[in-house]
């Protein structure tokens, strides 16, 4: 294409044709992926029609009715596929927190594709970019930069965010089978939806007592479950940078939230994760429930995956220091801000005295941990093929 033609704004008919073609082939970008990524944010409504249909399909519950089997299937498929989002797209493709064989990797990619969250390579490209630019103007889904709605769902509808930047995920892009799944990212979802319908139709014939059928399983097992899965996942982009506690003073506004950890099977420990991305677990303590980690641990016993990475001792020590400092701050607040109404003083004066004494002493003895300059080193290392401890 001549340079002058490539610089012109494509006509509406051409954009329409491109958007429809991209439903099938997500790498079809006649104007050039780099050019598209540099455009200002703009919702591509035609490209988003399948995404709109996904949501609209949930209204099918009005016509297909309800059965206990369909309800349990919806929950089951949510959990199994949330595990794929968190344990596969996030902890494997984005961060390589464990190892597998090439066949195992393809199996994981197929499992991940059933989540209808596009290909693992597109997912990893955007996620690594998020870690490198968390909550700065470059972060495409920061609620602090773009607002809640854009961080939750808007960014995914923007034209500039559709193409995959393969240059930032070279460690994954070298596998043609992964690139194929990423390029034709509607194939697995369509097969999955068809399988849901077929499964329901079989049950209607061979297990009529369950009270389900093809249409009901399609609506509940595919549309409702997948839409819930999308919004559960999107909560990490939006809510996990707004809601919860910050253990580590990372350079972003990531937070730890028990509620999000339940909804997203462990991803709610987002501040932990932003502090140290390379560990397989996001919950650093036994009480930080991390169902994805338990699942990955179980998968490692089958031999499908191995080499799960732990949280380094230095990071755990930093966590202990941060928690200790937070306890002291809470005691100081109780003791000094409201000395006359402190419930601690009223109930156990001796304990209050010890708390205040500890607080005062610790103010002197506990060194202030400086901001870690290598907060983003793990993902940078993967992106540029460097060793984890090698600094850019
Ligand atoms: Zn984040
Ligand atoms: Zn991450």
- CA–CA separation, 353 and 346 (whole Å): 11
Angle between helices 176-183 and 102-113 (to 10 degrees): 10
In the reported structure, the alpha carbon of residue 140 is separated from the centroid of ligand 1 by a whole-number distance in angstroms of 11
Return d(Cα 240, Cα 254) in angstroms, integer: 6
213 Cα: distance to centroid of ligand 2 (angstroms) = 39
Q: Which residues pair with 118 in a beta bridge?
A: none
Q: Which ligand is nearest to the CA of 90?
A: 2
Residue range 144-194, pLDDT digits in tens: 999 999 999 999 999 999 999 999 999 999 999 999 999 999 999 999 999
**pTM exceeds 0.85, yes or no:** no
Q: Give Dmax (Cα) for the chain.
A: 82
Q: Is the pLDDT of residue 114 over 70?
A: yes
List Cα–Cα distances, 30 to 35, 145, 171, 209, 380, in angstroms: 10, 30, 25, 52, 30
Is 364 a residue whose pLDDT tops 60?
no
Query: How many residues in total does the chain contain?
Result: 392
pLDDT at 371 over 90: no
CA neighbor of 290 nearest in space, from 306, 305, 307, 311:
311
* Residue in 182, 158, 162, 155 with CA at minimum distance from that of residue 237: 155
Pick the ligand that lies closest to the CA of residue 379: 2
Portion of the chain with pLDDT greater than 90, in percent: 74
Q: 203 alpha carbon to ligand 2 midpoint, in Å?
A: 39
349 pLDDT higher than 80: no
Q: Are 352 and 332 in contact (CB under 8 A)?
A: no
Query: DSSP assignment, residue 157?
Result: G
Q: Using the 8-state DSSP alphabet, how is residue 184 labeled?
A: T
DSSP string, 226-261: HHHHHHHHHHHHHGGGTSSB-SS--SS---B-HHHH
Q: What is the pLDDT of residues 305-326, one digit of tens each?
A: 999 999 999 999 999 999 998 8
Q: What is the pLDDT of residues 252-274, one digit of tens each?
A: 999 999 999 999 999 999 999 99
Do residues 191 and 77 make contact, with C-beta atoms less than 8 angstroms apart?
no
Token output for 189: 């979802």
- CA of 195 relative to ligand 1 center, distance in Å: 34
The ligand placed nearest to the CA atom of residue 139 is 1
Average pLDDT over all residues of the chain: 87
| The pLDDT of residue 102 is above 50 | yes
| Residue 250 to residue 133: CA distance in whole angstroms | 12
Distance 180 CA to ligand 2 centre (A): 24
CA distance 310 to 279: 5
Q: Is the pLDDT assigned to residue 358 strictly greater than 70?
A: no
Structure tokens of 143?
A: 């609620």
Distance CA 256, CA 267 (A): 9
Ligand 2: distance of its center to the CA of 128 in Å? Answer: 7
Q: How far away, in angstroms, is 100 Cα from ligand 1 center?
A: 25
Tokens (6 digits) for 177? 């089978």
Distance 131 CA to ligand 1 centre (A): 7
C-alpha to C-alpha distance for 16 and 21, rounded to whole angstroms: 9
- Report whether pLDDT(352) > 90: no
Which residues hold their Cβ within 5 A of ligand 1, which is an ion?
254
């Amino acid at each position: 294409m001549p340079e002058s033609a490539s610089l012109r704004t494509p006509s509406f008919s051409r954009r329409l044709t491109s958007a429809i073609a991209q439903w099938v082939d997500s790498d079809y970008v006649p104007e050039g992926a780099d050019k598209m990524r540099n455009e200002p944010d703009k919702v591509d409504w035609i490209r988003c029609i399948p995404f709109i249909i996904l949501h609209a399909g949930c209204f099918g519950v009005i016509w297909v009715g309800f059965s206990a089997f369909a309800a349990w299937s919806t929950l089951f498929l949510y959990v199994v596929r949330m595990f794929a989002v968190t344990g596969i797209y996030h902890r494997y493709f984005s961060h390589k927190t464990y190892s597998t064989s090439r066949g195992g990797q393809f199996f994981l990619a197929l499992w991940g594709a059933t989540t209808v969250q596009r290909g693992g390579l597109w997912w990893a490209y955007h996620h690594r970019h998020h870690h490198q630019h968390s909550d700065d103007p470059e972060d495409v889904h920061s609620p602090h930069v773009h607002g809640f709605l854009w961080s939750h769902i808007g960014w995914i509808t923007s034209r500039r965010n559709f193409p995959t930047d393969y240059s930032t995920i070279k460690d994954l892009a070298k596998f043609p089978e992964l690139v194929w799944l990423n390029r034709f990212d509607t194939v697995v979802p369509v097969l999955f939806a068809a399988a849901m319908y077929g499964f329901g139709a079989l049950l209607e014939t061979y297990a009529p007592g369950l009270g389900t059928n093809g249409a009901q399983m399609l609506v509940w097992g595919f549309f409702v479950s997948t839409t819930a899965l999308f919004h559960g996942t999107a909560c990490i982009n939006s809510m996990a940078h707004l809601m919860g506690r910050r253990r580590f003073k990372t350079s972003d506004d990531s937070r730890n939230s028990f509620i999000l950890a339940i909804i997203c099977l462990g991803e709610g420990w987002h501040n932990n994760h932003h502090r140290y991305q390379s560990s397989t677990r996001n919950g650093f303590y036994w009480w930080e429930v991390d169902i994805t980690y338990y699942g990955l641990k179980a998968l490692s016993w089958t031999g499908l995956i191995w080499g799960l990475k732990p949280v380094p001792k230095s990071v755990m020590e930093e966590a202990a220091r941060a928690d200790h400092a937070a306890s002291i701050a809470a005691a100081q607040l109780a003791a000094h801000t409201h000395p006359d109404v402190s419930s601690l003083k009223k109930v156990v004066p001796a304990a209050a005295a010890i708390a205040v004494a500890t607080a005062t002493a610790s103010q002197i003895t506990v060194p202030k941990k400086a901001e870690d300059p290598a907060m983003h080193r793990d993902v940078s290392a993967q992106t540029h093929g460097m060793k984890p401890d090698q600094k850019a």
